[in-house]
Structures are given as structure tokens and as C-alpha cells.
Amino acid sequence: MPFAKRPVRTFALAALAAFSVLSSLPGCEGSITGSGDSPPTGGPADDTGVTDAGPSKGDAADTGGSDGATSSDSGTIDPGTDGGPSDDGGPVDPGTLGERRVIAYFAAWGVYGRNFHVADIDASLITHLNYAFANISEGGECVLGDSYADIDKAYPGDTWDTGVLRGSFHQLQLLKAKSPKLKTLLSIGGWTWSTNFSSAAASDASRAKFASSCADLALKYGFDGLDIDWEYPTGGGLAAGKPEDKANYTALLAALRAELDKRGAAAGGAHYLLTIAVPAGASHIANIEASKIHTYVDSLNIMTYDFHGGWEPTTGHNSPLFSPKGDPGPAGFDTDDAVKLYVAAGVPKAKIVVGGAFYGRGWSGVASTNDGLFQPATGMPTGTWESGVFDYHDLAANYIPTFARHFDDSAKAPWLYDATKQIMISYDDAESLTIRGKYVKDGGLGGVMVWELSGDDKARTLGHALWSSLH
């Protein structure tokens, strides 16, 4: 998501935090792993001024959480082998048992400058759709994030009758009528709108109030559940957190699970979903009780992107699957190491969903050594909607045809470089996402979560690649 810059944390301090965390996890004694350095803040501002608030481009690195780290284990984890955690403990979406999930975010602000609407979604390529985002009021209740886009914007066939639902929420209802297997979730918070999570989670009364209001909002508009994106418990986001956020986050998820179960029982035994967007770095994982929270949720969607970006002075991979050879930065900034952390914490394999990016990140002023990879940069090039960030459809139309494409076989990640323009862009394409999907399928993980649908091209190249690799 597009943004203002966050301050970059000091690698040395982050490494100490990472080491203390991992040393306490079973199977991780003596190793340190982590992920991305602090990326830019909030999100893409379209012509409306609405900013991206969620778990994605730019937000994730703390999704990745910069944990200056080194790793004594460069091998991949096979979550499907003996010795891993058992797949018990809490709900798993009964509609997707035996099926790998493709969870895709739809950004509410996409209906403005991006001109991407619910009607543009190919529901045959996803199992779950997360609508980003609902906000949290000062009083600790879930509220609409953009009432015009959500419930008022008129589409063909809509009427202006009083009380008639319009907007993207009505379009989602129409989409679900055509695709009854599709599950939709209302995502709460994100980078920009996480400020009031801490107070909402602070007491039994505030948690009950929050849970009831979120369930009311989601079910009123026909969603199948909730997706919680708190960035981040105890701090590291736009607002300062509190040490007690760690335990309160667990208690908040318990309250949400209890409220959704109560509503489900009243609806004849329906199972309403509860998922969470979680960080990929050890320092942030230290601030959540991963061994406990999984019992309340259907999936933990790891934000395994924004490991590197233009906020850093050296080029790198946005979303490497494995640890890249030759990366001069701290080790552990990759998807596989993030998965290892959650498996080591006891999260069932079927509940682990890895992130995938439908966008890339770029640097300018990059010399031609190593075709621009792991090289010093002087800034960020003009992107699709903001500096340094490129939607895949833009890359496919305007960069891939003329830039040289390279592939890092150690990281399973491509990049583009133009020696004349001195621009390097790290991104994902059909090849890398197919490999990512196979990694998930072969490892017995729950699926892939992508940020976000408007980034793909009109042929849905990335969506088809992911779906085919998982099914």
C-alpha cells in the first residue's frame, strides 16, 4: 500500500529483539530470523485523498518487521513432514477444508483513480475476498471506512430509493449470488486505521463492545466474517502501543470468536470466519501470542512482502520466497523464514497463509553491477500511483517489454533492470507466484493471500498462475 515513509529502525537493536524471541521458541534455539526493514507508512492516495490503510504494499514490512537478523538454518521448512505441529486447535473454515485458499484483498479506494470495481473481480480465481477496510471509532466500535464507496456509490441497476443499498457492498452481494462458494470478509484496521485497536482491546467491556459492533457491521451487509489487521500490538505502527496489547490482542480475538460463534448459533449453526493479517518478522511476532491466538482464528495471513523497498538505500527483493544468496543485509528477510517462525510457535500448518504481491518496488540511481541487484540506490523512480511502487499491470505494459528481466534462483524472485535509466524493480510474476503456490501446496500450508486485486493485468495473469499452482 502506498504511503509516507516510516523511520527505519536500527538493525542492531532489531537483531537483539529477534534473537531473544527465537531463542524462546521450540526448535529455534540459537538462530535468528526476521524480515523486512521499516517501509513507508500508510497507503496509496488516489484522487479522492483516501489513503490505503491495510496490510500490503508499504505496510507490510513491518508486516515483515525489520529484525536485523542472521540465520543458522538456510534450509526450507516442509510443514508437511513429521515433527511439525499437529493441525488441531481452533476453527478451520469448513468451506475450504482440503482446498488451498486464495485470499485476495479488494481495496475500497480502488473505485476512484484505479477504476477497479467489484464487477472486475474474477471470482473463479479466489476462495475468499477481504474488503479493505472498515475503521474503528474513538469509542471503540467498527464503523464504515468510506461510506460513499462502501454503500452509496451508484452502479448500473441501482436505484436512489431511500434505504436501498448501493456501493461496493451491494456489488459484493451480487457477486456472491453469482459465485455462491466465495467467502467475503470485512477487514478492520490496517496501517492507517489501527490507532484505536489498543483502547478497544483494553478491557472485557471494551472488547465485548468492539466484537458486537464488528459482528453487527459485517453481518448487516452480508459478509461471511471478519479479518483483523492490527498494525501493531504494543507499537511499531502509526500510534504508540502498550505492553499490555500483547495479551489484550489474544483476549480481543477470543471475544470476537465468541461473538461470531454466538451469532452463528443464532443463525442455525453458521460458521462465521475470523482471520488475521500477521507480521513476518521476529520482533513483531514477539509482540503477539502466536501459540495462543491460532485457536481463535481460521487462518493467520502472513504479510510476506515489503521485505525491501525504496525507503532503503540498497536494492533488494520485495517478496523473496527463500533467503537470497549474496544479500548484504540481515538474513531472514524472506517468506520461508517467516513460515518457520509460526510453525515453531505451534501454529497448525492448515492455518498458515503466506502473502503474495501483485505489485513491485523500485529504486533509481542504481549502477549496473550485478544487474542492479543488492546495489546502492539514490532514490525511488516514479511509480504507478506513488514513487517506487508499481502495479503488475503497469509493469507488464510499460516495463517488462523494454527492461531486462533477471531471476534470482536462490530467492525464487525476478527483477527488472534498465542500465540506461539506472532503475531496478523487484516484483512477482507468473513464474515466481507459481513457485510460491507449489511451496504452499507441497508444504501443507493453508494458501496464499494477495495484495491486491487491482494490481493484476486484465488477463488476470497472476491470478491464473496462483490458482493453477494451488489446485
CA terminus-to-terminus distance, the chain = 28
> Do β-strands 447-451 and 101-107 pair in parallel, antiparallel, or remain unpaired?
parallel
| Number of neighbours of residue 272 by Cβ within 10 angstroms | 24
> Do β-strands 183-189 and 142-143 pair in parallel, antiparallel, or remain unpaired?
unpaired
Residue pair 391/399 in contact (Cβ under 8 Å)? The answer is no
Task: Give me the residues paired with residue 107 across strands.
Answer: 132
Between CA 255 and CA 111 the distance in angstroms is 33
Between CA 358 and CA 450 the distance in angstroms is 7
Catalytic-labelled residue, pool 231, 259, 386, 452: 231
Contacts of 203 (CB under 8 A, 6+ apart): none
Torsion of CA 403, 407, 413, 417, to 10 degrees: -30
| Number of neighbours of residue 429 by Cβ within 10 angstroms | 20
Contacts of 150-155 with CB under 8 Å at 24 or more apart are: 150/108, 151/221, 153/111, 155/117, 155/119
H helices of 150-237, in order, are: 167-178, 197-200, 204-220
Task: Give me the residues paired with residue 357 across strands.
Answer: 451
**Annotation says 244 is catalytic:** no
- Which residues are marked as active site? 231
